Amino acid sequence: MDKTELKKELDQMLDQMPVLLVREILDFAEFLLSKSYTESKEMSQETSSLSQNETMHLEEEFKNYQTLYPKKKQNG
């Protein structure tokens, strides 16, 4: 299922929920975005201390990572 289909399904579910549950979902989405931002910032800080050679090595190691190790689709 692509992002557009997921949004449509989520929107249909949200329409059936009371405002309090929709607020909880919004709070959770904000938490996930914040968590993702925090983890990304921490990773950036950790990698900023690497030397140029270490950085180049790390980039080379992960060059085709997504192609070599694609995420498994979840059944849903």
Q: Which domain holds residue 53?
A: 3-68
pLDDT in tens, the chain (76 residues): 899 999 999 999 999 999 999 999 999 999 888 877 776 666 666 667 677 777 778 788 778 777 877 777 655 5
Q: Is residue 73 part of a domain?
A: no
Domain count, the chain: 1
**pLDDT at site 15:** 97
Q: Is residue 75 part of a domain?
A: no
User: 22 exposed, middle or buried (CB, 10 Å; 0-12, 13-18, 19+)?
Assistant: middle
In this structure, the number of other CB atoms found within 10 A of the CB of residue 25 comes to: 13
* Dist CA 41 CA 37 (whole Å): 6
